[in-house]
């Protein structure tokens, strides 16, 4: 081969003697062939692909820039040089002997190459990023290969060669990453401007660059969904196979059953049905054991992200290879220092090579990390998008399997887990690879004695495995049950202590697990620190002891130590990755169950055009669960287009189920429903989004101002808009918290009316509004003359007064239609309906007459102000009004984290703890430095005892001290970690306790202005950070800090001059200004993350509404944009980390370079051992530097959690629960209430709601409170409970001023049945009596009085029946009855009914009223009524208007008086108190 080459260039190809001299050089032939062909070969293999854009691109070229012209001119010049070179060769050839072939081939190759370069430059104009990575690598290679011939030329003739220009094309673009040049991409230079921006001012979300198109959630999710569908289909097929197999095994356990096939099938069917009847409590079959499609999630992920995975594998391979080059170079360097004869250039070469290896290694590593983290956020995005989409399509049975909290948990915890796993997934193959390579190289150094070291490692693995298993056992239980419904109920019933106790029990359990987990962790950290040291001890000891002639010299020892250091990382990572895999497995199962669950099957809802029918039920039978009891049975109905149909029946007769079946929310058992046209749906409990009032009504439709005004007017919202601080631009809190029940219901109705659908399904929308408003709404919206007169309306109602005006009435009994027809027909039939009416309807005749006369009056009343206000609204320019913004923007703390936060945390840990932990680390590193110095002295023995026997006692001393130092190092560490585990647990306990007790004591107004998501976020995410992340960060930071100090110390000991270099290098280290950017990005991440969960929670609670309107797409889009905002802050954060890492590793590489260079310079004066020590420490420093900055920023970022928790422990509390002044025992004994000029406002900046109320309520008096929505009725009750504190005046109960006693003394002695019945997740018993104060007999008695006894007795678990989240598994009426039972159980002297019977049909209402009359006869009862009938038998009636009492007297007197009350009574069809037995 070399002979052929020598002939080709006409000179010697290779001669080693060229290098064995001080002015070493390479042979000319080598320079002309290898050094020229390597870059050209690289270029010609890869470059032609760069021309592809020219061939296939339809895109238009970008414009010609100055830079492009310069590049083309330079390339043309290069081509001309090559042409000139070729011409020169021909000229010379004619003059003398023939020239060697190489003189012709090289210029020709170059001409072709430069032509190709010109073409590539042109082709890149079709791309966004004009820079070409391949060209860049080619230039760099040419440059490196050109240096050697260049210096030969310089030496020979000082002729001038030419350099080649590097360029970076930069032009402005929203995201510079898209157009960043190759060099800028690999060093993340394009990101620098952002870092500086973040340093100058705190970053806002607007400052962050948009994501690239292919990184947007929509793009990622599209690919993922396609792959997911195919994978799930396969998995479902497998599931069917498994089920069949199981059935077969069940069917014939032994083939000789002597049963016919049919019989065994029957038995099987029975067997299948039985488990379903098991207690709902242990969730029979629907629990964790129910099978689901498995194993598809990982496949989908791999299929979706294969490109990313492959690329990162490539980078990781290069990096892993280079890791092993450094120890070999170190070996050569030590040999160089020890060898007197060696040439100086060799040393310099090794130093430069060390530097280059470190540099390339770091570039590859950062690209690899960048790819992994990108993968992580993409995986998270696709999972969250998938979960969200699933939530929109899942069937109600699947939905029941998991609470909203659990589903949000899938999003937050499990998707996060996948994100973390993606970062390290490549360690699964890379770690074993690195381990194997290390062992191979070590064997080369120390021979078989390495086996001793490896044996130690292998022994440590099972120990670690055991620890991981233990830790896992602890880990599984750690699910936060803290979807704490923090609501007014706790306050009204003074139940906070009971809740606090429950939460604290759970928390204590968590902390116990946590501290055990930390102990295990510290033991495994201990094992790990011991590991490298024990390994080297074992290997060196065995090596020295096996054979007299084996002497440990510097080359062997330090190369081995470098290799052992390489080994540490993969050995440490493997178990971590494995345990992370285990956790991901749990998450995988959860996600697969959820995402693979049943979808909503709406096949029973047909949309065929049938003439003369808008909705047709054909023998429709539907149930809530596939094999549950049918909720509606054999319904056959035909509803004509444009008709108004009322659905009536008792509580639990299936009215809401009928509606749900129409919406396709139920499981079809047989029959079908045919619906023609679009639907609008008004649920029984209004679902309001956290948006402005206007957005709630428009609900994604275009704004048509005229129609909008018409709708608002018809829905009686104009007067409310005047009361709201910013009219229809007022922001409505989560779940509509700042609207009254009636307002919510009217907004919900307005949304339906505005949507202009064909069919309106109204689930009792009139229950929550006052009687006269209900009348108004019926007339203007629902009735025969209303806005919707042409539409088909299906109205579920409890109110009888409207029935005469509807076209058709459907009467439901136990889920079946008992009769239907017009009002008159049903009366004539004398069926169930007629009896129902006779019971309640003695006044119907009068009422229907009054309806016609009375309405003129109301409309006048309602509309007097509205026209004026509309005019006024048009004149006034919009301005931000006080109180318009309800939900404050989440405070993002900006700037540096206050030092006081660290101190606060350390205080919580305990100062002594903190001090001793720090001392432990100092001890550890002192021992570490000692170990290394001792080793360096030991290796120098090889020089000292050259050619003589090594004394045995010297040998034993060396091994002994080395061992002792190592052990002490590990013990110090164990001491420090165990202490820090205890301290951290203490801190966690203290902080959680402070947060919880404070949140339970804050006033109600705080919950109005703070979304629950934000509060839950404090309890879940931030407390988790304080529990687990902060202690880890603190420990790692201390450890890194000490490690760096000790390394720099060792290098300076070896080469004192190094101390001078530390100073300029430490300036470099001032990349800390990056920390402010990083921290801000992390904060933005957590702030932009809460909306994802809030929006999700909101979606899940409004699912039926979203589906009914068919707005799934819009909500998906909204979720995608919310996600993208979060994604871009996370993406930016990832890049900022890589930006920093690359720069830091460069500093690390410089440290290596200088320590090697100084060793080469001071060659004569140094021992091999000390050089080995210095350079091997330096090789370690890069990683540690990186970790230190990472940990500092991590710590600063995580300490924010302390800040956020602290912020909520400082929220102003309401009055103390118990004060010095206790009320007398048995207070209130009489139950007299006095209001003395009482004023109140909701928040300091708002108007008064009650404007000075003065009245007396005598003992055992029954008082009704009436008034229009927003008149201050509910505020009155809030004041009695002191949910609102007085702005003036006072309230006395039995002569005691309620403002002077503790809140609990007050609240425990009053009872309320609230407007929205609130139930907690837990047993029925817990809901009635959370403190276990009453006996079972008392509880049953209460249930009997609340007319729930029979219902509860029929439940399989009776009192232990599990109430699902928010009481979803009880009807609204039943929830209301549970609240009644609560009140009966408490039996206080004062009872307040806040429109308690709004959602109940008349029969139940009657029962409730009777109960209240009998049970609370000797109590003072305040009733806030929307239906006037309920209060006509009161002793007195209080009429409120705009926060003042306008009338206050007995109902009889007020009816005579012709005031506000008599008008309201007329609307409700009441003429005198006799007609009111309703």
pLDDT tens-digit series, residues 33-82: 888 888 888 888 888 888 877 777 666 777 888 888 888 888 898 888 88
Under the banding of pLDDT at 50, 70 and 90, the label for residue 375 is: very high
Measured CA to CA, the distance from residue 9 to residue 5 in angstroms comes to 6
So what's the pLDDT on residue 612?
83
Using N-to-C axis directions, what is the helix angle for 1030-1054 and 1112-1161, rounded to 10°?
Answer: 20
A 10 A CB-CB count for 1350 gives: 9
Spell out the long-range contacts of 288-294 with Cβ–Cβ below 8 A and sequence spacing 24 or more. 290/593, 291/239, 291/242, 291/243, 292/239, 292/592, 292/593, 292/596, 292/597, 293/232, 293/235, 293/236, 293/238, 293/239, 293/592, 293/596, 294/235, 294/238, 294/239, 294/589, 294/592, 294/596
- Asked whether residue 227 carries a pLDDT value surpassing 90, the answer given is yes
Lowest mean pLDDT among 329-338, 865-874, 939-948: 865-874
Residue 780: asked if its preceding bond is cis (omega within 30°), the reply is no
**In the predicted model, what is the mean pLDDT of residues 1088-1098?**
87
User: Which of 229-238, 873-882, 1138-1147 is predicted least confidently?
Assistant: 873-882
Higher pLDDT, 385 or 1362: 385
3-state helix, strand, coil in the chain (%, to 5): 65, 10, 25
CA distance 886 to 1245: 12
Residue with the larger pLDDT of the pair 883 and 679? 679
Most confident segment among 507-521, 1111-1125, 1254-1268, 1284-1298:
1111-1125
To 10 degrees, what angle do helices 554-595 and 1168-1209 make? 30
Q: What is the pLDDT of residue 381?
A: 92
| pLDDT at position 1258 over 70 | yes
Q: Is the pLDDT of residue 318 over 60?
A: yes
- Model pLDDT for residues 160-203, shown as the tens digit of each residue: 333 222 222 223 337 888 888 888 888 888 888 888 888 888 88
Cα pseudo-dihedral 1155, 1157, 1160, 1166, rounded to 10: -20
Spatial distance between the Cα atoms of 886 and 278, rounded to a whole number of angstroms: 47
Q: Are 962 and 938 in contact (CB under 8 A)?
A: yes
- Weakest-pLDDT range from 455-469, 872-886, 1327-1341: 872-886
Q: Can you give the pLDDT at residue 890?
A: 60
User: Residue 258: is its pLDDT beyond 60?
Assistant: no
What the block records as the tokens of 361 is 């290694």
* Average pLDDT in the chain: 80
Q: Where do the DSSP E strands lie in 1187-1285?
A: 1233-1241, 1248-1257, 1262-1266
Q: Answer whether residue 1465 shows pLDDT above 90.
A: no
| Closest-CA residue to 717 (of 749, 687, 695) | 749
Nearest CA-CA partner of 749 in 665, 675, 683, 662: 683
How would you label 1306-1320 residue by residue, b for 16+ Cβ within 10 Å and e otherwise?
bbebbbbbbbbbbbb
- CB distance 673 to 620 below 8 Å: yes
* pLDDT at residue 794, as a whole number: 92
Say what the pLDDT of residue 473 is: 72
411/272 Cα distance (integer angstroms): 33
Residue 1260: per-residue pLDDT: 84
Least confident of 924-928, 1180-1184, 1284-1288: 1180-1184
Confidence of residue 841 (pLDDT cuts 50, 70, 90): low
- How far is 1348 from 1350, CA to CA, in rounded Å? 6
**pLDDT at residue 865, as a whole number:** 32
Taking each helix axis from N to C terminus, what angle separates 554-595 and 427-446, rounded to the nearest 10 degrees?
160
Q: CA-to-CA distance for 552 and 848, rounded, in angstroms?
A: 110
| 435 vs 531, residue with greater confidence | 435
* Per-residue pLDDT at 727 exceeds 90: no
What tokens appear for 99 in the block? 């020239």
- Which has the minimum average pLDDT: 29-43, 412-426, 528-542, 1031-1045? 528-542
| Residue 1021 DSSP label | I
Of residues 312 and 553, more confidence is placed in 312
In this prediction, residue 896 has a pLDDT band, given cuts at 50, 70 and 90, of low
Q: Each residue of 339-349: pLDDT tens digit? A: 878 888 888 99
pLDDT bin (cut points 50, 70, 90) of residue 887 is low
Helix (H), strand (E) counts: the chain: 54, 22
User: From start to end of 545-629, where are the E strands?
Assistant: 605-606, 615-623
Q: Confidence band (pLDDT; 50, 70, 90) for 284? A: very low
d(CA 647, CA 606) in angstroms, rounded, equals: 22
Q: Give the pLDDT confidence score for residue 860 in this predicted structure.
A: 33
Residue with tokens 């049950």: 481
Q: What pLDDT digit, counting tens, does each position of 618-664 carry?
A: 988 988 887 778 888 888 989 999 999 999 888 778 888 899 898 88
Asked if 1290 and 1297 touch (Cβ cutoff 8 Å), the reply is yes
Helix axes 450-475, 496-546, angle to 10 degrees: 170
Residue among 499, 493, 497 at smallest CA distance from 1388: 493
- Is the per-residue pLDDT at 483 higher than 50? no
pLDDT digit string (tens) for 690-708?
Answer: 888 889 899 988 888 899 9
Please give the C-alpha separations between residue 1107 and each of 686, 1114, 1120, in angstroms, as whole numbers: 15, 11, 18
What is the C-alpha to C-alpha distance for residues 711 and 707, in angstroms, rounded to an integer? 6
Q: Greater confidence, 589 or 1319?
A: 589
**Which has more confidence, 1270 or 108?**
108
- Going by their DSSP bridges, the two strands 1286-1293 and 1296-1297 should be labelled as antiparallel
* CB atoms near residue 777 (< 10 Å): 24
CB atoms within 10 A of CB 1120: 21
Mean pLDDT in residue range 254-266: 43
Quick check: 855 pLDDT over 50? no
Query: 44 exposed, middle or buried (CB, 10 Å; 0-12, 13-18, 19+)?
Result: middle
Instruction: Indicate the SS3 state at residue 1375.
Output: helix
pLDDT > 90 in the chain, percent? 10
Please choose, from the candidates 1437, 756, 1453, 1473, the residue with its C-alpha nearest in 3D space to the C-alpha of residue 1109.
Answer: 756
Instruction: Give the residue with greater pLDDT, 244 vs 1005.
Output: 244
Between 1227 and 879, the more confident residue is 1227
Please list the residues that pair with 1262 across neighbouring strands.
Answer: 1421
Residue 692 corresponds to which tokens in the numbers above?
Answer: 């402005």
For the whole model, what pTM was predicted?
A: 0.69
pLDDT of 1024 > 50? The answer is yes
Query: Considering only 353-362, 414-423, 746-755, which range has the smallest mean pLDDT?
Result: 414-423
Q: What's the pLDDT band for 893 if we cut at 50, 70, 90?
A: low
- Please state the rounded mean pLDDT for residues 764-772: 81
The answer to whether 320 and 437 are in contact (CB under 8 A) is: yes
Q: Provide DSSP, 679-720.
A: EEEE-SS----SSBHHHHHHTTSPP-HHHHHHHHHHTT-HHH
Do 515 and 523 meet the contact criterion of CB atoms below 8 Å apart? no
Q: Rounded to an integer, what distance in angstroms lies between the CA atom of residue 1191 and that of residue 1125?
A: 26
Q: CA Rg, the chain, in Å?
A: 40
Residue predicted with more confidence, 402 or 807: 807
Residues 356, 1064: contact at Cβ < 8 Å? no
- Which has the minimum average pLDDT: 240-244, 300-304, 379-383, 1013-1017? 1013-1017
Q: Please tell me the predicted confidence (pLDDT) of residue 830.
A: 82
Q: What is the DSSP string of 1066-1128?
A: HHHT-TTHHHHHHHHHHHHHHHHHHHHHHHHHHHHHTHHHHHHHT-HHHHHHHHHHHHHHHHH
DSSP 538-562: HHHHHHHHH-TT----HHHHHHHHH
Contact 1218, 1185 (CB under 8 A): no
């Amino acid at each position: 081969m070399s002979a052929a080459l020598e002939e080709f260039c006409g000179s010697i190809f290779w001669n080693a003697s060229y290098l064995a001299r001080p002015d070493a050089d390479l042979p000319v032939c080598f320079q002309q062939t290898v050094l020229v062909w390597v870059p050209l070969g690289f270029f010609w293999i890869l470059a032609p692909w760069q021309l592809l854009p020219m061939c296939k691109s339809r895109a238009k070229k970008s414009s010609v820039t100055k830079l492009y012209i310069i590049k083309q001119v330079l390339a043309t010049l290069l081509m001309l040089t090559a042409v000139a070179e070729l011409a020169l060769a021909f000229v010379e050839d004619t003059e003398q002997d023939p020239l060697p072939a190489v003189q012709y081939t090289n210029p020709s190759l170059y001409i072709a190459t430069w032509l190709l370069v010109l073409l590539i430059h042109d082709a890149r104009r079709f791309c966004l990023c004009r820079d070409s990575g391949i060209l860049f690598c080619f230039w760099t290679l040419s440059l490196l290969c050109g240096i050697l011939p260049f210096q030969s030329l310089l030496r020979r003739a000082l002729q001038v060669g030419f350099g080649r220009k590097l360029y970076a094309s930069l032009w402005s673009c929203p995201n510079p990453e898209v157009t960043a040049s190759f060099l800028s991409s690999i060093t993340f230079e394009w990101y620098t401007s952002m870092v500086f921006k973040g340093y100058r001012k705190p970053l806002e979300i607007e400052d962050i660059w948009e994501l690239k198109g292919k990184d947007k959630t929509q793009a990622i999710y599209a690919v993922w969904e396609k792959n997911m569908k195919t994978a799930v289909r396969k998995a479902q097929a497998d599931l069917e196979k498994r089920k069949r197999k199981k059935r077969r095994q069940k069917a014939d356990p032994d083939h000789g059953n002597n049963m016919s096939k049919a019989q065994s099938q029957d038995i099987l069917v029975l067997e299948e049905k039985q488990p379903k009847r098991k207690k709902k409590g242990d969730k029979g079959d629907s629990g964790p054991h129910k099978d689901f499609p498995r194993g598809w999630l990982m496949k989908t992920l791999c299929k979706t992200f294969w490109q990313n995975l492959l690329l990162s594998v490539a980078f990781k391979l290069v990096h892993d290879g280079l890791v092993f080059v450094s120890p070999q170079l170190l070996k050569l360097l030590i040999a160089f220092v020890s060898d007197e004869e060696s040439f100086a250039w060799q040393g310099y070469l090794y130093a430069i090579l060390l530097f280059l290896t470190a540099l390339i290694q770091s570039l590859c590593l950062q690209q690899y990390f960048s790819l992994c983290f990108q993968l992580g956020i993409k995986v998270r995005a696709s999972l969250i998008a998938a979960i969200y989409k699933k939530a929109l399509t899942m069937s109600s049975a699947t939905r029941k399997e998991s609470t909203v909290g659990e589903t949000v948990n899938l999003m937050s915890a499990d998707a996060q887990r996948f994100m973390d796993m993606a970062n390290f997934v490549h360690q699964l193959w890379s770690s074993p690879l690195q381990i194997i390579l290390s062992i191979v190289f070590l064997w080369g150094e120390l021979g078989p004695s390495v086996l001793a070291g490896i044996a130690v490692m292998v022994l440590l693995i099972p120990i670690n495995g055991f620890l991981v298993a233990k830790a896992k056992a602890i880990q599984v239980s750690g699910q936060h049950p803290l979807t704490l419904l923090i609501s007014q109920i706790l306050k009204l019933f003074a139940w906070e202590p009971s809740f606090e106790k429950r939460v604290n029990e759970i928390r204590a359990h968590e902390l116990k697990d946590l501290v055990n987990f930390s102990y295990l962790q510290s033991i495994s950290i201990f094992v790990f620190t011991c590991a490298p040291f024990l390994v080297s001890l074992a290997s060196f000891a065995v090596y020295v002891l096996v054979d007299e002639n084996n002497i440990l010299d510097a080359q062997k020892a330090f190369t081995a130590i470098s290799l052992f250091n390489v080994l540490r990382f993969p050995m440490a990572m493997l178990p971590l990755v494995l345990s992370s895999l285990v956790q991901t497995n749990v998450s995988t199962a959860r996600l697969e169950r959820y995402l693979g669950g049943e979808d909503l099957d709406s096949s029973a809802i047909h949309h065929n055009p049938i003439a003369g029918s808008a909705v047709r039920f054909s023998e429709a039978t539907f149930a809530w669960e596939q094999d549950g009891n049918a909720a509606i049975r054999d319904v056959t109905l035909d509803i004509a287009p444009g008709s108004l149909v009322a659905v009536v029946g008792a509580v639990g007769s299936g009215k809401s189920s009928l509606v749900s079946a129409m919406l396709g929310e139920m499981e079809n058992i047989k029959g079908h429903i045919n619906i023609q046209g679009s639907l609008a749906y008004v649920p029984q409990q209004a679902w309001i989004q956290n948006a402005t009032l206007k957005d709630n009504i428009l609900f994604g439709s275009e704004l048509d101002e005229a129609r909008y005004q018409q709708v608002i007017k018809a829905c009686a919202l104009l007067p409310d808009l005047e009361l709201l601080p910013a009219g229809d631009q007022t922001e409505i809190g989560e779940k509509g918290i700042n609207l009254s029940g009636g307002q919510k219901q009217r907004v919900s109705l307005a949304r339906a009316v505005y949507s202009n659908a064909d069919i309106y399904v109204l689930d009792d929308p009139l229950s929550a509004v006052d009687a006269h408003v209900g009348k108004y709404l019926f007339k203007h919206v629902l009735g025969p003359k209303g806005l919707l007169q042409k539409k088909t309306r299906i109205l579920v109602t409890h109110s009888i007064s409207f029935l005469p005006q509807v076209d058709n009435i459907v009467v439901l009994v136990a889920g079946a239609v008992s009769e239907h027809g017009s009002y008159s027909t049903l009366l004539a039939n004398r069926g169930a309906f007629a009896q129902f009416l006779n019971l309640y309807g003695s006044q119907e005749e009068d009422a229907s007459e009054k309806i016609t006369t009375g309405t003129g009056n109301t409309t006048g009343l309602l509309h007097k102000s509205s026209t004026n206000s509309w005019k006024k609204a048009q004149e006034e320019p919009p301005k931000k009004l006080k109180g318009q913004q309800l939900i404050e923007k989440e405070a993002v703390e900006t700037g540096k984290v206050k030092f006081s936060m660290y101190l606060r945390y350390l205080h919580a840990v305990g100062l002594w703890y903190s001090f001793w932990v720090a001392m432990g680390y100092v001890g550890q590193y002192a021992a570490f430095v000692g170990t290394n110095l001792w080793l360096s002295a030991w290796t120098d023995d090889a020089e000292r005892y050259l050619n003589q026997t090594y004394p045995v006692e010297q040998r034993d001393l060396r091994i002994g001290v080395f061992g002792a130092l190592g052990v002490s190092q590990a013990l110090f560490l164990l001491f420090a970690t165990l202490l820090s585990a205890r301290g951290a647990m203490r801190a966690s306990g203290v902080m959680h306790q402070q947060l919880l007790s404070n949140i339970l004591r804050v006033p109600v107004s705080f919950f109005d202005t703070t979304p629950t998501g934000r509060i839950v976020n404090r309890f879940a995410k931030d407390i988790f950070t304080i529990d687990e992340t902060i202690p880890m960060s603190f420990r790692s930071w201390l450890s890194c800090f000490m490690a760096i100090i000790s390394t720099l110390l060792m290098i300076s000991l070896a080469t004192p001059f190094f101390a001078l270099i530390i100073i300029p290098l430490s300036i470099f280290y001032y990349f800390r200004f990056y920390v402010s950017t990083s921290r801000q990005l992390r904060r933005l991440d957590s702030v932009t993350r809460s909306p994802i969960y809030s929006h999700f929670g909101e979606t899940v609670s409004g699912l039926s509404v979203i589906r009914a309107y068919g707005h799934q797409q819009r909500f998906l889009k909204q979720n995608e944009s919310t996600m993208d905002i979060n994604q871009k802050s996370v993406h930016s954060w990832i890049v900022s980390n890589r930006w920093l890492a690359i720069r830091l590793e460069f500093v690390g590489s410089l440290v290596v370079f200088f320590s090697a260079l100084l060793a080469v310079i001071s060659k004569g004066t140094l021992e091999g051992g000390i050089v080995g020590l210095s350079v091997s420490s330096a090789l370690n420093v890069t990683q540690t530097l990186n970790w230190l900055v990472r940990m500092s920023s991590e710590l600063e970022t995580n300490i924010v959690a302390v800040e956020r928790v602290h912020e909520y422990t400082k929220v102003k509390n309401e009055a103390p629960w118990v004060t010095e002044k206790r009320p007398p025992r048995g207070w209130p004994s009489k139950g007299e209430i006095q209001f003395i000029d009482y004023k109140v406002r909701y928040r300091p900046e708002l108007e008064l709601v009650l404007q000075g109320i003065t009245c007396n309520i005598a003992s055992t008096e029954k008082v009704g409170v009436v008034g229009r929505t927003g008149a201050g009725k509910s505020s009155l009750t809030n004041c009695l409970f002191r949910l609102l504190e007085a702005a003036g005046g006072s309230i006395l109960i039995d002569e005691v001023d309620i403002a002077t006693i503790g809140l609990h003394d007050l609240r425990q002695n009053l009872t309320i049945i609230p407007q929205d019945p609130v139930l907690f997740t837990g047993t029925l018993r817990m809901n009635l009596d959370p403190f276990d104060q009453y006996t079972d007999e008392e509880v049953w008695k209460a249930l009997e009085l609340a007319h729930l006894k029979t219902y509860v007795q029929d439940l399989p678990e009776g009192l232990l029946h599990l109430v699902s989240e928010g009481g979803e598994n009880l009807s609204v009426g039943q929830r209301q009855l549970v609240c009644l039972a609560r009140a009966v159980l408490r039996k206080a002297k004062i009872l307040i009914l806040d429109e308690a019977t709004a959602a109940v049909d008349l029969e139940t209402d009657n029962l409730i009223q009777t109960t209240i009359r009998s049970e609370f006869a000797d109590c003072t009862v305040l009733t806030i009524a929307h239906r006037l009938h309920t209060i006509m038998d009161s002793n007195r009636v209080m009429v409120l208007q705009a926060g003042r009492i306008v009338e206050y007297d007995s109902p009889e007197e007020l009816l005579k008086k012709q005031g506000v009350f008599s008008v309201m009574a007329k609307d409700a069809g009441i003429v005198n108190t006799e007609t009111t037995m309703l």
